[in-house]
């Protein structure tokens, strides 16, 4: 199925045709050529895979500076952070810079915007590329002015000589000067001299978003654009048996009705015409459905009985330490929805043999590969351009909508086609965050220290993202369908279902097993934090259970088992900010909780203390206040970082207290906000405070997902503290809490 893509790469490698005109392809060419002779020491971040400086920074003759990133702005605000990084290292005014994000014709291939990698991969690449470009500019100025570089400095987009002569960057850059490979090391600025990095610069995208500017792919209006709607099957395995489209083709404004196997779509001139036609088409379509979903009531027994690939991922043995008191517990997490507020959308246009797709995908290159494969076109004839959508929090319907738009646009050459999913389609067809089960067992020695620790996790993979066409619904539903690719676990140290399954704490004996389940009864993929959400919820809940068993304070107990100094620092900062005192009792019907994790055990550190009130009559929980501390390495935009952690706490609270995908034996039944309730304003806390620990000069750690797990466990621990009852089956709903209180 990859044939067209491989062919295209060969053509590029051979230098054939007119393909090497564009920047991205020449970059791809260079990457492929340089790979065999690549030096042992690679430049940092994504420079390792896209080493040319002009993949990241370009300066035109007028002195306009553009930074390029292969990552997609999803509302995390890193576009602003990247602009700060480039401005800082280049000595260019912040406002004079432009940042271009993921576009297969313009930017480097940085894979997916996921896993809290943007700052680490792309931010690091931009920082180092900018620093090296600055060095090149100084070297060029030194040559022209016949001065040593020590007599030159940079300021405000120009190189300035000690005698006052000034050479603007635009005058210095000529030809292919920046088309050189990055060096492994850069002369980065001393963080103590930062003027732009570390500042809470307002986000560049917010003004348009709060004044009705065109900010999203949903807002695109190309000349002659038509509106498409999909009629999806009513359930995963439904087969279209009959569909009389005659009447629908005659409806007002209808341009086309498309049927390709189980793929059904309608196109109309105006949006509401498309919706009416979609409703009529939906009524006309006859489907044969099969009951193929597991029993929801028995989900966790079914999941743990599915065939699994079992692997011990961590083993530590010290037979001299023996536990005295053993406890065990099982924690479960249901399928959960990304639940984007704006259903997925894409615009595609097929013109002059090229398919252009504007999409809010997290990976323009993998998306291009999938779409090219589906359309049996060379990937070089497909261009994917990222345009912001509603927040996605992982793999939602974005890639599917892009494939839908491309498939329809091919049938309407020249015409731009906008596909907008409906609410029930997003809820019913998005790939969910996978259900998970963890079983924990640990023993305390007679000093109340953990002597042995056993952790087992059962999970599907946490990524079924495209790359191949088979990951996209349109390709799965075509008359000649593409098979869903085989699920693969995401390897450690990042991990998928086993992300954060290995404890950060030091135990003399520890045994961690990952039961990877290849079969996927429901459509699943990556959701913010992947397995770390449930694993950290489990570990940090269980640490509290053990602390209670040891008669110890929750924080003291954690610190007793934790060596990592940066981990200890965030714990101390959150505890101090919260006013945590050993043995302190919360007011009646309230509880205090604490939790901590380092995301993936290699990214940002986050500790969260929370206060929860529980209505003892109804069981209703409410997070009253939360205090977090985060260490994300060198901070680029402190307010952006705080915004991410605040958001993580609120979203994780919603997952933890309310959310569960529901289904019967055939269909997904949580298909809107009534059937899939999430956080509303009546449950918003009184306050959320985030303390940032800056680590000047340290690597960026990435913070988009670090709060999910600790927030969940902190809230669960506070509920246990308030009620004296431990809940282990997510979500921790009012009903479950009430039942636990009454039990």
Partner 1 sequence: MMLKVNGREHQVDADPDTPLLYVLRDDLGLNAAKFGCGLGQCGACTVIVDGNAVLSCVTPLLLLEGRQVTTLEGLGSIEAPAPIQRAFMEEQAAQCGYCIAGMMMRAQALLQKNPKPTDDDIRAELEPHLCRCGTHMRILRAVHRAAHLMQTADASTVQRSAR
Q: How far is the CB of 649 from partner 1 (least distance, A)?
A: 7
Under the binding rule (CB under 8 A), the answer on residue 476 touching partner 1 is no
SS3 call for 85? helix
Under the binding rule (CB under 8 A), the answer on residue 214 touching partner 1 is yes
The residue from 678, 693, 694, 741 that contacts partner 1 (CB under 8 A) is 678
Query: What is the 8-class DSSP label of residue 527?
Result: B
Nearer to partner 1, 426 or 498 (CB): 426
Under the binding rule (CB under 8 A), the answer on residue 679 touching partner 1 is yes
Nearer to partner 1, 221 or 480 (CB): 221
Under the binding rule (CB under 8 A), the answer on residue 213 touching partner 1 is yes
Under the binding rule (CB under 8 A), the answer on residue 222 touching partner 1 is no
Nearer to partner 1, 172 or 277 (CB): 277
Under the binding rule (CB under 8 A), the answer on residue 207 touching partner 1 is yes
Under the binding rule (CB under 8 A), the answer on residue 216 touching partner 1 is yes
Under the binding rule (CB under 8 A), the answer on residue 682 touching partner 1 is yes
Beta strands 263-268; 254-260: pairing state? antiparallel
Q: How far is the CB of 38 from partner 1 (least distance, A)?
A: 37
**Bridge partner list, 257:** 266
Q: How far is the CB of 422 from partner 1 (least distance, A)?
A: 7
> Which x/- pattern over 497-536 shows residues binding partner 1 (rule: CB under 8 A)?
----------------------------------------
Residue list 248-287, contact with partner 1 (CB under 8 A): 270-272, 275
Nearer to partner 1, 100 or 679 (CB): 679
Nearer to partner 1, 282 or 461 (CB): 282
Residues 188, 190, 195, 201, CA torsion sign: positive
Q: How far is the CB of 254 from partner 1 (least distance, A)?
A: 14
Q: How far is the CB of 255 from partner 1 (least distance, A)?
A: 15
CA distance 396 to 362: 9
* DSSP per-residue codes, 129-182: HHHHHHHHHHHHHHHHHT--GGGEEEETTEEEETTS-EEEHHHH--TTTT-SBP
Task: Tell me, letter by letter, the H, E, C secondary structure of 594-622.
Answer: EEEEEHHHCCCEEEEEEEEEECCCCCCEE
Nearer to partner 1, 377 or 392 (CB): 392
| CB neighbour list of residue 495: distance below 8 Å, 6 or more residues apart | 313, 489, 501, 514, 530, 531, 600
> Which x/- pattern over 695-714 shows residues binding partner 1 (rule: CB under 8 A)?
--------------------
Under the binding rule (CB under 8 A), the answer on residue 130 touching partner 1 is no
Residue 168, Cβ neighbours under 10 Å: how many? 17
Give the chain's end-to-end CA distance (angstroms, integer): 57
Candidates 497, 484, 486; CA nearest to 435 is: 497
Under the binding rule (CB under 8 A), the answer on residue 208 touching partner 1 is yes
The residue from 223, 617, 681, 743 that contacts partner 1 (CB under 8 A) is 681
Nearer to partner 1, 343 or 591 (CB): 343
Nearer to partner 1, 206 or 602 (CB): 206
* DSSP per-residue codes, 346-389: EEEEEETTEEEEEE--S-HHHHHHHHHHHHT--GGGEEEEE---
Q: How far is the CB of 679 from partner 1 (least distance, A)?
A: 7
Nearer to partner 1, 431 or 495 (CB): 431
Asked if 156 and 92 touch (Cβ cutoff 8 Å), the reply is yes
Query: What is the 8-class DSSP label of residue 332?
Result: E
Nearer to partner 1, 218 or 476 (CB): 218
Q: How far is the CB of 372 from partner 1 (least distance, A)?
A: 28
Nearer to partner 1, 115 or 343 (CB): 343
Asked if 379 and 369 touch (Cβ cutoff 8 Å), the reply is yes
Rg of the chain's alpha carbons, rounded to an integer? 27
Asked if 558 and 539 touch (Cβ cutoff 8 Å), the reply is no
Nearer to partner 1, 252 or 493 (CB): 252
Under the binding rule (CB under 8 A), the answer on residue 684 touching partner 1 is yes
Under the binding rule (CB under 8 A), the answer on residue 95 touching partner 1 is no
For the CA atoms of 349, 353, 359, 365, the dihedral, rounded to the nearest 10 degrees, stands at: 180
Asked if 475 and 406 touch (Cβ cutoff 8 Å), the reply is no
> Residue 618 to residues 82, 223, 375, 735, 737: CA-CA distances in angstroms?
47, 55, 55, 8, 8
> Which x/- pattern over 640-669 shows residues binding partner 1 (rule: CB under 8 A)?
---xx-xxxxxx-xx---------------
Give 645: exposed, middle or buried? Use CB within 10 Å, 0-12, 13-18, 19+: buried
Give 658: exposed, middle or buried? Use CB within 10 Å, 0-12, 13-18, 19+: buried
For the CA atoms of 365, 370, 373, 379, the dihedral, rounded to the nearest 10 degrees, stands at: -10
CA distance 178 to 169: 12
Under the binding rule (CB under 8 A), the answer on residue 680 touching partner 1 is yes
Q: How far is the CB of 91 from partner 1 (least distance, A)?
A: 26
Nearer to partner 1, 283 or 602 (CB): 283
CA distance 609 to 473: 41
Nearer to partner 1, 584 or 674 (CB): 674
**Bridge partner list, 336:** 433
The residue from 16, 17, 149, 202 that contacts partner 1 (CB under 8 A) is 202
Nearer to partner 1, 450 or 690 (CB): 690
Asked if 643 and 701 touch (Cβ cutoff 8 Å), the reply is no
Q: How far is the CB of 200 from partner 1 (least distance, A)?
A: 8
Nearer to partner 1, 18 or 681 (CB): 681
SS3 call for 444? strand
Q: How far is the CB of 199 from partner 1 (least distance, A)?
A: 13
The residue from 135, 171, 556, 639 that contacts partner 1 (CB under 8 A) is 639
The residue from 26, 107, 340, 541 that contacts partner 1 (CB under 8 A) is 340
Q: How far is the CB of 182 from partner 1 (least distance, A)?
A: 32
Under the binding rule (CB under 8 A), the answer on residue 342 touching partner 1 is yes
Please name the helix (run of DSSP H) or strand (run of DSSP E) that holds residue 541, with its range, or none: helix 532-550
| CB neighbour list of residue 136: distance below 8 Å, 6 or more residues apart | 53, 177, 178, 180
Query: What is the 8-class DSSP label of residue 696?
Result: T
Residue list 64-83, contact with partner 1 (CB under 8 A): 74-77
Please name the helix (run of DSSP H) or strand (run of DSSP E) that holds residue 556, with its range, or none: helix 554-560
**Total of chain residues touching partner 1, rule CB under 8 A:** 62
Helices (H) and strands (E) in the chain, counts: 19, 24
Under the binding rule (CB under 8 A), the answer on residue 203 touching partner 1 is yes
Nearer to partner 1, 66 or 643 (CB): 643
> Which x/- pattern over 374-413 shows residues binding partner 1 (rule: CB under 8 A)?
--------------xxxx-x--------------------
Under the binding rule (CB under 8 A), the answer on residue 423 touching partner 1 is yes
Q: Which residues bind partner 1 (CB under 8 A)?
A: 74-77, 202-203, 205-216, 218-219, 221, 227, 270-272, 275, 339-343, 388-391, 393, 420, 422-423, 639, 643-644, 646-651, 653-654, 672-674, 678-682, 684-685, 687-688
């Amino acid at each position: 199925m990859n044939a067209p893509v491989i062919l295209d790469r060969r053509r590029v490698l051979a230098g054939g045709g007119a393909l090497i005109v564009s920047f991205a392809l020449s970059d791809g060419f260079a990457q492929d050529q340089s790979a065999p002779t690549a030096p042992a020491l690679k430049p940092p971040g994504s420079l390792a895979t896209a080493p040319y400086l002009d993949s990241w920074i370009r300066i035109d003759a007028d002195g306009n500076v553009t930074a390029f990133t292969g990552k997609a702005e999803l509302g995390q605000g890193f576009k602003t952070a990247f602009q700060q990084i480039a401005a800082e290292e280049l000595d260019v005014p912040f406002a004079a810079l432009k940042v271009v994000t993921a576009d297969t014709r313009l930017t480097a291939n940085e894979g997916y915007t996921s896993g809290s990698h943007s700052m680490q991969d792309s931010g690091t690449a931009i920082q180092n590329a900018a620093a090296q470009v600055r060095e090149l500019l100084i070297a060029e100025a030194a040559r022209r002015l016949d001065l040593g570089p020590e007599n030159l400095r940079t300021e405000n987009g120009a190189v300035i000589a000690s005698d006052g002569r000034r050479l603007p960057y635009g005058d210095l850059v000529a030809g292919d000067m920046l088309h050189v490979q990055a060096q492994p090391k850069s002369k980065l600025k001393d963080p103590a001299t930062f003027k732009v990095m570390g500042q809470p610069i307002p986000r560049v995208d917010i003004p348009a978003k709060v004044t009705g500017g065109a900010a999203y792919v949903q807002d695109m209006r190309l000349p002659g654009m038509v509106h498409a709607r999909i009629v999806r099957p009513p359930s995963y395995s439904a087969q279209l048996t009959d569909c009389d489209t005659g009447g629908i083709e005659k409806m007002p404004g209808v341009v086309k009705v498309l049927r390709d196997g189980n793929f059904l779509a309608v196109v109309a001139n105006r949006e509401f015409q498309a919706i009416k036609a979609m409703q009529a088409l939906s009524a006309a379509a006859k489907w044969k459905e099969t009951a193929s979903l597991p029993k929801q009531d028995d989900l966790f027994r079914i999941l743990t009985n599915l065939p699994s690939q079992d692997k011990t991922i961590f083993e530590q043995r010290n037979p001299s330490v023996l536990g005295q008191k053993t406890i065990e517990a099982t924690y479960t997490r249901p399928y959960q929805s990304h639940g984007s507020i704006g259903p997925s959308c894409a615009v595609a246009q097929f013109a002059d043999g090229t398919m252009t797709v504007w999409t809010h995908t997290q990976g323009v290159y993998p998306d291009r590969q999938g779409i090219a494969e589906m359309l049996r076109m060379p990937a070089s004839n497909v261009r994917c351009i990222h345009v912001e959508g509603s927040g996605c929090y992982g793999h939602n319907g974005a890639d599917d909508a892009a494939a839908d738009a491309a498939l329809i646009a091919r049938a309407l050459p020249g015409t731009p086609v906008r596909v907008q999913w409906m609410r029930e389609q997003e809820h019913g067809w998005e790939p969910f965050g996978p259900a998970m089960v963890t079983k924990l067992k640990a023993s305390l020695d007679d000093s109340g220290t953990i002597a042995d620790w056993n952790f087992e996790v059962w999970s599907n993979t946490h990524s079924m993202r495209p790359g191949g066409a088979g990951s996209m619904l349109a390709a799965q539903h075509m008359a000649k369908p593409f098979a869903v690719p085989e699920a693969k676990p995401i390897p450690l140290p990042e991990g998928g279902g086993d992300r954060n399954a290995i404890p950060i704490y030091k135990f003399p004996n520890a045994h961690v097993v990952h039961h990877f389940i290849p079969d996927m009864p429901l459509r699943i993929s990556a959701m913010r934090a992947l397995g770390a959400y449930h694993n950290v919820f489990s570990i940090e809940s269980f640490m509290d259970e053990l602390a209670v068993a040891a008669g110890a304070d929750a924080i003291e107990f954690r610190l007793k088992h934790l060596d990592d100094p940066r981990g200890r620092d965030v714990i101390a900062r959150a505890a101090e900010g919260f006013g945590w005192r050993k043995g302190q009792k919360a007011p009646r019907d309230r509880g205090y909780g604490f939790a901590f994790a380092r995301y993936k055990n290699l990214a940002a550190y986050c500790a969260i203390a929370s206060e929860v009130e529980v209505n003892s009559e109804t069981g209703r929980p409410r997070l009253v206040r939360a205090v977090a501390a985060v260490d994300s390495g060198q901070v680029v935009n402190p307010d952006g970082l705080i915004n991410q952690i605040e958001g993580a706490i609120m979203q994780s609270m919603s997952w933890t207290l309310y959310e569960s995908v529901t289904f019967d034996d055939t269909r997904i039944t949580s298909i809107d906000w009534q059937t899939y309730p999430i956080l509303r304003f009546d449950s918003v806390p009184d306050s959320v405070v985030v303390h940032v620990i800056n680590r000047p000069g340290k690597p960026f750690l990435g913070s988009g997902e670090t709060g999910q797990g600790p927030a969940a466990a902190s809230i669960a621990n506070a509920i246990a503290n308030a009620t004296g009852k431990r809940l282990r089956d997510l979500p921790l709903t009012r009903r479950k809490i009430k039942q636990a209180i009454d039990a």
